Amino acid sequence: MPMKTDEYARPATPPDASSLTEVLAAASECTACHLYKRATQTVFGEGPRGAPIMLVGEQPGDYEDVAGKPFVGPAGKIMDRALEEARIDRSKVYVTNAVKHFKWEPRGKRRIHQKPNAREIAACRPWLEAELRLVKPKLVVVLGATAAQAIFGPSFRVTRERGKVLSSKFAPRVLATVHPSSLLRQPDEESRQREYKRFVADLRAAVKAAGDE
Ligand code: URA
């Protein structure tokens, strides 16, 4: 009988993959949803195995899609500043995204970011699960609604649960905060500063939670 295939077949995660490099190689061939067709490349997570903290964003943006690295564009720059202020060395944490291909629509010459939907998040989740299994962070920080929903499901609300240490079937300790790009969208300088400070406070809480057993 011919093998049943559909657009959302599970990606070819090596079931016994014991290294991030192996998982990354498999992820770079992923066609589990249609997003690979428009994206330049899979943007996998980066950082050391055994990192105490894993930061999970939404999906690569325009810059990340070209560079092949997570959080290197404007949102990454403000996140780096906040990490430094919270005394988190970016090279010692693992940084990744819930969805590993850039979802976008053309508008003239520009590529406009589109929010990934629940099916795309679910199709990509095995890669996040593989990263969690291999990195084994003490704490996962979910940045914004998409990452939070990848871990907790669609009814999760960051506004309600922000800053608390929670548990999910994918990771025993998870703290949710806003996405750093939301800091760039604040309407005025006062709210930008206020929201930035709250974000840094959440990162400080993450350091503390990662240190607690
Ligand atoms: N936004 C994200 O969620 N992830 C990135 O890597 C860049 C921007």
**61 Cβ below 6 A of ligand 1:** yes
**60 Cβ below 6 A of ligand 1:** yes
Q: Residue 72 maps to which CATH number?
A: 3.40.470.10
* Assigned domain for 76 exists: yes
**57 Cβ below 6 A of ligand 1:** yes
* Assigned domain for 63 exists: yes
- Please report the pLDDT score of residue 212 as a whole number: 78
User: What's the chain look like in SS3?
Assistant: CCCCCCCCCCCCCCCCCCCHHHHHHHHCCCCCCHHHHCCCCCCCCECCCCCCEEEEECCCCHHHHHHCCCCCCHHHHHHHHHHHHCCCCHHHCEEEECCCCCCEEEECCEEEECCCCHHHHHHHHHHHHHHHHHHCCCEEEEECHHHHHHHHCCCCCHHHHCCCEECCCCCCCEEEECCHHHHHCCCCHHHHHHHHHHHHHHHHHHHHHHHCC
**97 Cβ below 6 A of ligand 1:** yes
**64 Cβ below 6 A of ligand 1:** yes
- Distance from the CA of 59 to the center of ligand 1, in angstroms? 5
Q: Of the residues 97, 103, 113, 158, which should be mutated to test ligand 1's pocket, given the most ligand atoms within 8 Å of the CB?
A: 97
**96 Cβ below 6 A of ligand 1:** no
Residues 6+ apart with CB under 8 A from 150: 56, 98, 99, 121, 124, 125, 128, 142
**137 Cβ below 6 A of ligand 1:** no
Q: Tell me if 140 sits within 8 A of 82, measured CB to CB.
A: no
- Please report the pLDDT score of residue 4 as a whole number: 44
Each residue's pLDDT tens digit in the chain (213 positions)?
A: 444 444 455 555 545 678 999 999 999 999 999 999 999 999 999 999 999 999 999 999 999 999 999 999 999 999 999 999 999 999 999 999 999 999 999 999 999 999 999 999 999 999 999 999 999 999 999 999 999 999 999 999 999 999 999 999 999 999 999 999 999 999 999 999 999 999 999 999 999 999 975
* Assigned domain for 116 exists: yes
* Assigned domain for 1 exists: no
**44 Cβ below 6 A of ligand 1:** no
d(CA 198, CA 157): 17
* Assigned domain for 3 exists: no
- Please report the pLDDT score of residue 178 as a whole number: 98
- Please report the pLDDT score of residue 106 as a whole number: 96
* Assigned domain for 44 exists: yes
Q: Is the pTM of this model over 0.75?
A: yes
- Please report the pLDDT score of residue 143 as a whole number: 98
Domain extent for 127: 20-211
- Please report the pLDDT score of residue 18 as a whole number: 87
Q: How many domains does the chain have?
A: 1
Q: Of the residues 181, 182, 184, 185, which should be mutated to test ligand 1's pocket, given the most ligand atoms within 8 Å of the CB?
A: 181
- Please report the pLDDT score of residue 98 as a whole number: 98
* Assigned domain for 41 exists: yes
* Assigned domain for 12 exists: no
